[in-house]
Chain A
Amino acid sequence: AADTTNPCLKATHVCNLSKKCVRLRTDYASICTKGAGSDDMCDHRKCHRALRHFFEKVPEDFTKRILFCPCQDELCGERRRKTIVPDCSFQYNTKPNCLWLLDSCLEDHICKSRLADFQQNCQPTDMSPDGCSQHNHAACLQAYMGMIGTPMTPNYVSNFSVEVSLWCTCESSGNQKEKCDQILSMFESNKCL
């Protein structure tokens, strides 16, 4: 019955065989889709907490497969992008400045430590074959998943590519443009990631 042409669907099938994976996926899906349809009704904090539980408690084998499944077509890519229920966990009415996002992350002790982890493990370099200065691509992916469910939740930007980003912009950053671009570039166009 498995549709072998869609790796993201296949990853879901694997999750459905694990009671824990099914349970925690359902937990976040029901919390994050509550109030869907009406304007801005979902509870971002609860949704983020449920997403963190999923990525913390479900073994990496399952979560990595679901989030980093390799796609060839749009349907697969859309499934991948929608994994974290971006309508509630990622996109908001307005795109804030990335430095504002950074500030809210640094005020949150979980986000602060996860960001430090991400910065350390996903530091890009041209020198190594995997593009990671720590030579540990797996640790970088793990650290990326750690950011999901924090105020700095990253996600795929489209159904057509593996590019990821934050829900923020560096427009009108004034004299802090450079600092802002630096934050954003850790997620966008990061060789290691």
Chain B
Amino acid sequence: GRRNHKGKNRGCVLTEIHLNVTDLDLGYETKEELIFRYCSGSCDAAETTYDKILKNLTRKKKIVNDKVRQACCRPTAFDDDLSFLDDNLVYHILKKHSAKRCGCV
């Protein structure tokens, strides 16, 4: 995939964890397991001029709006769907449940 721009925001990375499907707390009763991948890390270094301006304006209280946010470490692509059989042996499909690539967006 696309590398983080020139080593910047190295903080935002894909991490994986082996879980039971029930750990997801989505209401399924099953003994199946999955590999869950998520994005974590800092996006402080991911600054564009836009981000710098926002930061400066917020600091100077030129803008006071909660909804203005700095870049976040988020999935830019999701893993393939995942199927599993629940305890009643009914198939379920999870979509967009796990990250495939991460980025500061």
Q: Which A residues are within 8 Å of any B CB, using their own CB?
A: 1-3, 6, 9, 12-13, 16-17, 19, 22-23, 25-26, 29-30, 32-33, 36, 78-79, 82, 85
Residues of B within 8 A of A17 (CB): 35
Residues of B within 8 A of A9 (CB): 31-32
Q: Of B31, B35, B81, which one neighbours A26 at CB under 8 angstroms?
A: B81
Q: Which B residues are within 8 Å of any A CB, using their own CB?
A: 18, 20, 31-35, 80-85, 89, 91, 93
B89 and A78 contact, CB distance less than 8 A: yes
State A3–B21 Cα separation when bound (angstroms).
13
Interface centre among B81, B82, B91 (most CB of A within 10 A): B91
State A168–B89 Cα separation when bound (angstroms).
24
A2 and B33 contact, CB distance less than 8 A: yes
* Contacts A16-B33, A23-B80, A30-B83; A82 near B20 (Cβ below 8 A): no
8 CB < 8 A contacts A-B: A12-B32, A12-B84, A12-B85, A17-B35, A22-B82, A29-B83, A29-B91, A33-B91
Q: Of A13, A26, A33, which one neighbours B33 at CB under 8 angstroms?
A: A13
CB distance from A100 to the nearest CB of B (A): 29
A30 and B32 contact, CB distance less than 8 A: no
State A76–B2 Cα separation when bound (angstroms).
43
* Contacts A26-B83, A30-B83, A82-B85; A1 near B33 (Cβ below 8 A): yes
Residues of A within 8 A of B80 (CB): 19, 22-23, 26
State A9–B93 Cα separation when bound (angstroms).
17
B35 and A16 contact, CB distance less than 8 A: yes
B83 and A25 contact, CB distance less than 8 A: yes
Residues of A within 8 A of B32 (CB): 9, 12-13, 16
